[in-house]
Structure 1
Amino acid sequence: MKPFEYEPINQLKPIAKNIWIVDGEKLDMSFGPIEVPFPTRMTVIKLENGDLWLHSPIQPTDKLVKQLKTMGKVAHLISPNKLHYSYIAKWKELFPSALSWSSPGVIERASAKGTTLKFDRELGQTPPEEWSSEINQLIFTGSRAVEEVVFYHIDSQVLILTDLIENFDLERAPNKFWQKIYKLAGISAPNGKTPVDFRMTFFGNKKLVRKHVEKIIDWKPEKIVLSHGDIFTENAVEEIKRAFRWALK
């Protein structure tokens, strides 16, 4: 069996020019009485002005923070959906001048979990001027549970997703029970897609989902970074069509 975490963790791993992923430690998410283990992953983009853009920041470590400081100014802290906010406050303490960007529903979700969060800006359907020439974005609406902000780094042709596609390597599963869960949820690699419970929250909004997926396809990504599971390093458009076949057919 492979380790659950994508080792080496807390280390910058380049995937294209000016874009890296950083795999982190396991995080247990509470869904009612169930604790679900997730590997964590941050994406880092260096903007043309030298600023660093951090998507779904993981637990900061001294070594990682030191590495980033040598690369540029940590300027943007991104919560891509209301489930991905756990370490935003810690990064804000370390980099007070960085702008923290909220996703739809994240403040309410954190409050319901007993955490008070403050953000500097809100993410919208179009990118703000801070990165509009370098990163495309859209809010993937239609779900009754979670709205996710999707990003596309134009220069590297890398699409950045959070929970819309999960792609778990069965050999990394903690045990056979979780292997079965990954299979039942439709999120086992190499054919990961939207988890079945998440997919059900889009019921009745298939046309809207199709519109979002078609826009993403129009961006013509070459790679897909995911927050959970194996990333897709090639044939990105075909992988999107496969993963969202339920909305495109």
Structure 2
Amino acid sequence: MLQSFDDGIWIAEGPIAVVAGFRYPTRMAVIRLSDGTLFIWSPVGLSNELRAAVDGLGPVRHIVAPNSLHHLFIGDWQAAYPGAKLYAPPGLRKRRQDLVFDGDLDDDPAPIWSGEIDQVVVRGNAITAEVVFFHRTSRTAIFTDLIQHFEPGWFTGWRALVARLDLMTAPEPTVPRKFRGAFTNRAAARAALRWILAWPVEKVLMAHAAPVETGGHAFIARSFAWLLT
């Protein structure tokens, strides 16, 4: 359920999420900070097994929704861990007025994790603003929906055709066409991408693609070459 990804960072696969008939696998990340507390990125469905595994790593103190689309389970986690702080990306407070957020995510990391996790908001996209994180110890960049990949056969029927046209089943993970077309402010997006490319990235985690464990910096540059040119 909970798998070690690198020093101080774990991942867990969650249940399938269905959006407009499209099936999406879900993945979360857990980062243990130097004070022993846990940073939960894009939490998936909270089962008893997953909760026991997470509790075995340390106390949950920070729950992060990385964009306005990845919020399905944050309420369950907030209820399970009332001592944790819940952080909202741009646009999510309005969408989830049923929740009480303790902070907002922007380009400046919260002081508690600023020495260990960097972040930048990729703005200018009409679908969602996504907060991309960088775990310094493992040199891991963490994307949510901006980079995706699904194996051939994951989608069937007309959805398989849509996925192919959208580059969701391209030879390697890349930015889907729907997200490319939704960048109404490419200057803002380029500025964020230059920030990301300044990080010494070796690995890349994504919510909807297999992790990239080597050559992460070059991989990100390839994925966004269409934006940089």
Q: TM-score range by the shorter chain?
A: over 0.9
- How many Å separate the matches in 1 of 2:156 and 2:30? 31
Query: Which runs of 5 or more residues in structure 2 are unaligned?
Result: none
8 Å Cα contact 1:77-1:88 kept in structure 2: yes
Contact 2:22 2:155 in 1 (8 A): no
Contact 2:148 2:168 in 1 (8 A): yes
2:118 to 132, 136, 151: 136
Distance 1:26 1:145 in 2: 21
**Contact 1:60 1:91 survives alignment (8 Å):** yes
Paired residues for 1:57-136 under 5 Å: 57-110=43-96, 116-136=98-118
Instruction: Name the CA distance, whole Å, in 1 between partners of 2:50 and 2:131.
Output: 25
Structure 2: which amino acid aligns with 1:229?
Answer: A
Work out whether 1:247 is the aligned partner of 2:224. no
Structure 1 CA distance for aligned equivalents of residues 202 and 147 of structure 2: 16
Total equivalences in the alignment: 229
Equivalent residues of 2:28, 2:41 under 8 A apart: yes
Q: Supply the distance in 1 between the matched residues of 2:146 and 2:161 (Cα, whole angstroms).
A: 20
In the alignment, which residue of structure 2 is the partner of 1:159?
141
**Separation (CA, whole Å) in 2 of partners of 1:226 and 1:183:** 19
**Identity over the aligned pairs, expressed in percent?**
32
Tell me what 1:170 maps to.
152
Letter in 1 for 2:66: P
Separation in structure 1 between the aligned mates of residue 137 and residue 8 of structure 2, nearest angstrom: 9
> Match of 2:175?
194
* TM-score normalised by the chain length of structure 2: 0.95
Aligned to 1:17: 7
Q: Aligned match of 2:164 in 183, 195, 210?
A: 183
Q: Is the 8 A contact 1:19 1:44 kept in 2?
A: yes
* CA pair 190-53 structure 1, distance change in 2 beyond 3 A: farther
Q: Secondary structure at the match of 1:39?
A: strand
Contact 2:190 2:228 in 1 (8 A): yes
- Return the letter of the residue paired with 2:119: Q
Q: Which residue of 2 aligns with 1:209?
A: 189
Confirm or deny that 1:223 pairs with 2:209. no
**2:127 aligned residue:** 145
**In the aligned structure 2, how far is the partner of 1:81 from the partner of 1:95?**
21
**What secondary structure sits across from 2:208 in the alignment?**
coil
Q: By how many angstroms is 1:176 displaced?
A: 4.6
Runs (5+) with no aligned partner, structure 1: 1-10
Whole-Å separation in 2 of the counterparts to 1:207 and 1:91:
36
Task: Tell me the CA shift for residue 189 of structure 1.
Answer: 4.9
Distance across 1 between alignment mates of 2:94 and 2:187:
28
Q: What SS class does the counterpart of residue 170 from structure 1 fall into?
A: coil
Question: What amino acid does structure 2 have at the position aligned with 1:219?
Answer: W
What code does the residue aligned with 1:18 have? G
CA RMSD of aligned residues (A): 1.4
Deviation, 1:109, is 2.4
What letter matches 2:160 in structure 1?
A: Q
Contact 2:8 2:31 in 1 (8 A): yes
* Matched residue type, 2:78: K
* Aligned residue number for residue 234 of structure 1: 214
2: distance between equivalents of 1:15 and 1:189?
A: 25
